[in-house]
A and B are shown apart, each in its own frame.
Chain A
Amino acid sequence: MISYLKNGWALLSIFLSLIVIMPILTVIFFFIIPGDTTWIHLRETVLTSYVFNSIILILFVSIGTVLIGAINAWLVAMYIFPYKKYLEWLLFMPLAIPSYALAYVYADLLGYGGFITNISSFIFDDNLKSINFYSIYGGIFVFVFSLYPYVYLLMRQAFISQSASYTEIAKISGLNPLKIIYKVSLPLSRPALVGGVSLVVMETLADYGVSDYLGINTFTKGIYKAWFNLGDITSAGKLSAILLITIAFIITFERKLRGKAQYNNEVRSNKHLKMKTLYGTYAVIAIMACFIPVFFGFIIPLATIIFWSFSSIDIIYSYDFISLAFSSFGLALSASLLCVMFALIIVFGMRTNSKLVSPFARVASLGYSIPGAVAAIGILIPLAWLDNTINNISLKYLNYSTGLIITGSWCALLFAYLVRFLALSMQSVENSFIKISKSIDYAAKILGKSNRKILTNIHMKIGWGGISLGLLIVFVDVLKELPATMILRPFGLSTLAIKAHELAIDERLNDAAIPLLAIILVCLIPLYFLIKVIRQE
């Protein structure tokens, strides 16, 4: 026991994890409180349809993203075809565009007076008919084309690093190409598939902007409704807790299903697959398959937003755009640094004492699956309590009112980002540290280096690629974040995302275009580095 205590790093990691867990616990706390009439009302009326809608959404979005992501990852890893050099990286691009931007774009294009409706009525000589995008089908479309890159990213990595020997053995054993994919390549890439799909599912569940704009009644919407419309925090807490528990359950279930089967490449010599060149019709099919998601997920939205921005460039805005961009940028930067700092300490702490630290770290990662507004309130409650306590103490002893220190500042907001996105930075840091063999730790220890030195001089230098990946991923997500930012932000602080959302809801899409473009352009920068880092590996 004493040796545990001596391990300062493990203790620090646990402490940091607890900080992040606190809001999660606050949310779950309400699960335990008995429900009242509102809860009963919800249960009897709309809860089932919320659950049903969420399940439909998740189901079809998962299928869609897996189809697009896996097929394209396969094509890109196994074959050579014209334009592949560009398509391979273009397939990542939708990551730079927030999903709600896709909702704005397609709802407008397909709506009354929209570009596509006009064209189709021109072609088909129809009365001006519109497609109702404000539905769960619109939501599915948006999420599929916005989120497939997560699956694509992970599965491409998995396919590329799979040793060629597996497919060769399968071939020798008499399997045709289709059977090889089914019996070997796919099963071997299962962790990547599961990882990608769980990211997609969590992003879908935690989403606010898309369901708000398209009016989809999801489970998360139910949480908002209970909390904000009906004013019943207990019901909202129960719903959030249900959400969390379901996700935890699914993750555990999948782990159990995997059982003893291992999926890491035990092979030491990484024999890379030789890519086959495609010609003729096959090449065309491959190009189309890769191009379509890029077209719907990136080209059309970007082109539309750029087009919108033309007509608003000469409109004088009533806000200071530069300061808006600056504060969005600064917020995202501080949040990503904070997340990575926490992640480094926690992951390193896990390395020194896995059994002790891991459970805390795992619970802390659950923050990713909490919808932003829920996380915000989960933070607001304890922080406000803290603030009020400090204020009361200072009033009593110093006769000075400190006011709300923490909640009225960037701190609360950064805290919310930490809770929401720690999981992302942890995963990147973990992935990069895994490659560092433990012998290096031991060698450094013997040579007299303290744990802190090992972390800063060795791990951070070697694992720099994964660390910067973590920075970039969190940066992009914070830049796009809506609900938590709206609720927790201090005075005078607005972000590009909030600005765009407010304008879009008010149908000032042309005005919303400039902040959206700013978000996209800034997101492209880390995306560029992300691609560079992946390319190197």
Chain B
Amino acid sequence: MMKKNNILLLLIFSILIPIDAWSEEVNLYSARKEHLIKPLIELFEKETGITVNLVTAKAAQLHERILREGNNSPADVLLTTDAGNLWKASNVNFFQKINSNILLEKINQKYRDPQNRWFGLSLRARVIVYSLDRVSPNELKGYIYLADPRFKKRLLIRSSSNIYNQSLIAHMIAKYGEKTTEKWAKNLVNNFARDPAGGDRDQIKAVAAGDGDIAIVNSYYIVKMLDSDKKDLFKNLGIYFPSDKDMGVHVNISGAGLLKNAPNSINGARLIEFLVSDKAQRLYAFTNYEYPVVKNIEVSKNLKYLGNFKEDTIDTSEYGRLANKAIKLADRVGWK
């Protein structure tokens, strides 16, 4: 039968495809979406001539796939947009150490694994976006203050199932301990203007629409929105980097690690090193509106406008270590 033959051909063909061509390549599993990572990849390919094979999915899904693929997984580099995911991967021995002076010099130890298994490549802060009309400056303090009853029905934040909030909660646990954090989270939930709905951008929009007064979002979202053609909608909003005497700003990283069984480990290491090069870091800043992990890189006008902020001292590696505790805590206090 015609159809049967076609299927067979297709199946045979598809099995043969992954058999290597003889060019240099590197296999990238990326949690950063394709259209966001593409500029960086294209730059890398141009500069080095190494082909990048890309798979994108949610970090957790990539993690599971690498786990199941086992020793023969073709993944070289795992790229995520959150420290927690990197920690989880290293915790189950996905990564191999990279001894690279470039990486060690350019990246502050706060933003990389103490054992050099994963490396931060860009930074983002979790900030407060607030209505200039309805919030007075003296209400803006550290994260812990958000649980204060004065914010009842005024707070907007996305679901606890999102990794960025999980890392924030983990950070709080690292700083204040589980008991205090649980009390804080419970009161936080009481302050919700509505059940968590939508992403960070939707919280910003909701503040602009008057559904709430304060939103907790990642820095690059609001910066991007202020730079877009819809910026007029947001002109009554202000940005505040929460910090107080105990805790500085919660800063998270996007980063990468080289997998233990990487078939192209040298190329993989090159890719990671490339991502901290000045060119790549500038791309992070200008196209993605993130803070470069490397010091003294020029940032976009809006980012510069926001000025400097005081980061907290807790290492990003803590986010992953306490992630599970954070998730369960969120479930217990009813943070949907």
Residues of A within 8 A of B (CB): 41-42, 45-46, 49, 107, 111-113, 127-130, 132, 134-135, 214-215, 217, 221, 225, 227-231, 318-319, 334, 337-338, 341, 373, 377, 380-381, 384, 387-388, 391, 401, 403-411, 414, 456, 486-492, 494, 498-499, 502-503, 505-508, 511
Q: Are A112 and B208 in contact (CB under 8 A)?
A: yes
Is B196 in the interface zone, CB < 8 Å from A? yes
Residues of B within 8 A of A404 (CB): 18, 69, 72-74
From residue 126 to 171 of chain B, which have CB atoms closer than 8 A to chain A? 158-159, 161, 163, 166
Q: Are B33 and A506 in contact (CB under 8 A)?
A: yes
Complex CA distance for A473 and B210, rounded to whole angstroms: 45
Is B187 in the interface zone, CB < 8 Å from A? no
Is B102 in the interface zone, CB < 8 Å from A? no
A129-B210, A404-B69, A410-B10 are known contacts. Are A134 and B198 too (CB-CB below 8 A)?
A: yes
Q: List 16 A-B contacts (CB under 8 A).
A: A49-B336, A107-B198, A217-B159, A225-B327, A227-B64, A231-B63, A318-B38, A337-B3, A341-B7, A377-B64, A380-B65, A384-B70, A407-B69, A410-B17, A488-B65, A507-B201
From residue 189 to 206 of chain B, which have CB atoms closer than 8 A to chain A? 194-199, 201-202, 205-206
Q: A225-B327, A318-B38, A490-B18 are in contact. List 20 more A-B contacts (CB 8 A).
A: A41-B331, A45-B331, A112-B205, A112-B208, A132-B198, A134-B198, A377-B68, A384-B70, A387-B72, A388-B70, A391-B72, A401-B72, A408-B74, A409-B15, A410-B14, A487-B61, A487-B65, A490-B17, A492-B54, A506-B36
Residues of A within 8 A of B55 (CB): 489-491
Residues of A within 8 A of B65 (CB): 380, 487-488
A46-B331, A486-B57 are known contacts. Are A228 and B63 too (CB-CB below 8 A)?
A: yes
Q: Are B54 and A491 in contact (CB under 8 A)?
A: yes
A341-B3, A408-B74, A491-B54 are known contacts. Are A215 and B197 too (CB-CB below 8 A)?
A: yes
Q: Are B196 and A215 in contact (CB under 8 A)?
A: yes
Residues of B within 8 A of A214 (CB): 197-198
Give the size range of B's interface with the partner: 35 or more
Is B24 in the interface zone, CB < 8 Å from A? no
Shortest distance between the CB of B336 and any CB in chain A (Å): 6
- Of B4, B56, B194, B336, which one neighbours A502 at CB under 8 angstroms? B56
Residues of A within 8 A of B71 (CB): 388
Complex CA distance for A34 and B71, rounded to whole angstroms: 27
Is B230 in the interface zone, CB < 8 Å from A? yes
Question: Binary interface profile of B, 1-38, with partner A (CB < 8 Å = 1, else 0)?
Answer: 10110110011001101100000000100000111101
Complex CA distance for A334 and B15, rounded to whole angstroms: 14
Complex CA distance for A505 and B200, rounded to whole angstroms: 11
Q: Are A217 and B36 in contact (CB under 8 A)?
A: no
Complex CA distance for A134 and B162, rounded to whole angstroms: 15
From residue 295 to 336 of chain B, which have CB atoms closer than 8 A to chain A? 324, 327-328, 331-332, 336
Residues of B within 8 A of A217 (CB): 159, 161, 336
Residues of A within 8 A of B56 (CB): 486, 494, 498, 502
Q: Are A130 and B209 in contact (CB under 8 A)?
A: yes
Q: Are B57 and A128 in contact (CB under 8 A)?
A: no
Residues of A within 8 A of B35 (CB): 318-319, 502-503, 506, 508, 511
